[in-house]
Amino acid sequence: MNRLYYYLYNKGESMKINNIFLTTALALIAIIIIVLMINIISSYEGATDNGQITIEVIDIDQSMIQSKTINYVKGQTLTMLIETHFNDVIFEETTYGPFLKAIEGYVTPNDYSTYLSIYVNELYSVVGINKIKIVNLMVVSIRVVSSI
Amino acid sequence: MIKSKIIIYDIVLIALLASILFVQEQLLSFLPNIQLTFLLIVLYSKKIGLYNTLLIILIHVLLDSLFTSSFSVLYTVPMFVGLIFIPISLNTIFKKVESHIVLACLSILYAVFYSLMFLISFVIILQVDPIAYLVADSIFQVLLGASSFLTILILYPPLSKLFTELLNTRNIYKKQ
C-alpha cells in the first residue's frame, strides 16, 4: 500500500513538473510569435521602383472632390504622397496603423456616421493605408462612405 | 426570498464582470489584437455558466460598438457571433475540458472562428476578395491566436482558482 502511495505521489509530482515545463515552453513560443507579428505589422510598405499613380478623393454623392496624378520615387509610401500632395490631411495613429481622418475639406465626424474608405483599382482595400504598396499606374480612391 | 437574492447577485456579478471585460479591452487597445477578452470569456464560461456569459458578451459587444462608433452589421454581428461561440462550445462539446493547455489550444480555434466571422461579413457586405482578405488578415489572426493562447496558458489556472474560491465563499454556483 505504501509502495503504491509512493508511486502515485511521485507520478503526480513528475506530471506537475512536466506540466510546468510544457507551459513555459509553449508560453515562450507564443511570446516569440507575438513579437514577430508586431514587428511585421509595424513595418511600412515603400515603393520598390519609380512610377506614377492617381489618387482621387470622392464625396459621398460620388462627385469628385480632387484627383491628382502623382510621380513617385522608390521608397515613398502612399501616406507620404497623400500628406505631400493633398490639403487638410489628418492621420490619426491607431494600433492598426494610421487612419485617414480628414482630407481636402472633409473631416470624419466624431460619431463616424461617415468615414473615409480606401479603394485600390476600384476594389475595397483589405489592408490599412500604410500597408498599400504603391505600384505604377495604380488608382487609389479615397471615398467618403456612410457607416450605416 | 433566496431566489430573488440569487437574481440580484447574478445582476451585480454580470455588471461587474462585463465592466472588467470592457475596461481591459479599452486599456489594452494600444496593442493590436492583444487583449484578455478570450481569457475572460473562457473563464466566465467555465465558472458562471452559459446564460450569464452570453449576457456579459451581449453587454460587452453593445458597449464596444457604441464606444468605438462601429455599431453596424459589418462589425457588431460578426463580433457577437464570434464571441458567443466560446461559451456555447465550452458548455456543450468542450464541457469536460478543464486543462489550461487544452483551453489555450482551443483559444486558437476561437481566434480563427472570430476572424472568419468578419471575413463572411466583409465578403457579403463589402464584396471584398476573400483570399485577399485572408492574406491581409492572417497576421492579425496569428497575433490574436497567440495572445489568447499565451494569456490562457499563464493566467487561467490562478484566475480559475481565485474565481472558484470567491464564488464558493458566497455559496452560489458551489457546484462549479
Both A76 and A135 in one domain: the answer is: yes
Residues A85 and A32 in one domain: no
Q: pLDDT confidence of B176, banded at 50, 70, 90?
A: very low
pLDDT at residue number B173:
57
Nearest-CA neighbor of A120 among A142, A147, A99?
Answer: A142
Determine contact: B65 vs chain A, CB below 8 A. no
The whole-angstrom distance between residue B50's C-alpha and the CA centroid of its chain comes to 12
CATH number at residue A119: 2.170.130.30
One domain for residues A77 and A138: yes
pLDDT on residue B151:
95
Q: Judge whether residue B101 has pLDDT over 70.
A: yes
> pLDDT at residue B54 above 90?
yes
Percent of chain B with pLDDT over 70: 93
**8 Å CB contact of A123 and B30:** no
Confidence check: pLDDT of B112 > 90: yes
The reported pLDDT for the residue numbered B61 is 95
**pLDDT value, residue A130:** 83
For range B20-31, the mean pLDDT: 89
Contact between A126 and B139 using a beta-carbon 8 Å cutoff = no
- B10-to-A49, A70, B1, B41, B91 alpha-carbon distances in Å: 62, 61, 14, 16, 18
Please report the pLDDT score of residue A129 as a whole number.
86
Nearest-by-Cβ selection for B143 from A19, A37, A110? A37
A102 Cβ neighbours under 8 A, 6+ residues apart: A88, A89, A90, A108
ipTM, interface predicted TM-score of the complex? 0.78
pLDDT of residue A11: 52
Q: What band does B6 get if pLDDT is binned at 50, 70 and 90?
A: low
> Do A70 and A102 have their domain in common?
yes
Give yes or no: residues A7 and A68 share one domain.
no
List of chain A residues whose C-beta atoms are within 8 Å of the C-beta of residue B120: none
Mutation site for B-interface testing, chosen from A23, A37, A113, A119 by largest number of B Cβ within 10 Å: A37
* Predicted local confidence at residue A20, as pLDDT: 83
Q: How confident is the model at residue B52 (pLDDT cuts 50, 70, 90)?
A: very high
Residues spanned by the domain of A3: 1-42
A62 and A16 fall within a common domain: no
**Same domain for A111 and A129?**
yes
Cα dihedral B42, B48, B49, B52, rounded to 10, equals: -100
- Which residues have C-beta within 8 Å of that of residue B39, sequence separation ≥ 6? B107, B148, B151, B152, B155, B156, B159
Q: Are residues A71 and A115 in the same domain?
A: yes
pLDDT higher than 80, residue B121: yes
Instruction: State pTM to two decimals.
Output: 0.76
More confident residue, A60 or B132: A60
What does B7-43 look like in DSSP terms, one character per residue?
Answer: HHHHHHHHHHHHHHHHHHHHHTTTSTT--SHHHHHHH
If asked whether residues A132 and A91 sit together in one domain, one would say yes
Say yes or no: A116 and A83 in one domain.
yes
Identity of the residue numbered B2: I
Question: Is residue A137 located within the same domain as residue A70?
Answer: yes
The pLDDT tens digits along chain A (148 residues) read 555 555 545 555 555 667 888 888 999 999 999 988 888 877 767 787 788 899 999 999 989 999 999 988 878 889 889 998 999 999 987 767 788 999 999 999 888 888 899 999 888 888 888 888 888 889 999 999 887 6
A13 & A85 share domain: no
**Averaged pLDDT for residues B22-33:** 86
pLDDT value at residue B2: 55
Domains held by chain A: number: 2
Q: Is it the case that residue B100 has pLDDT exceeding 70? A: yes
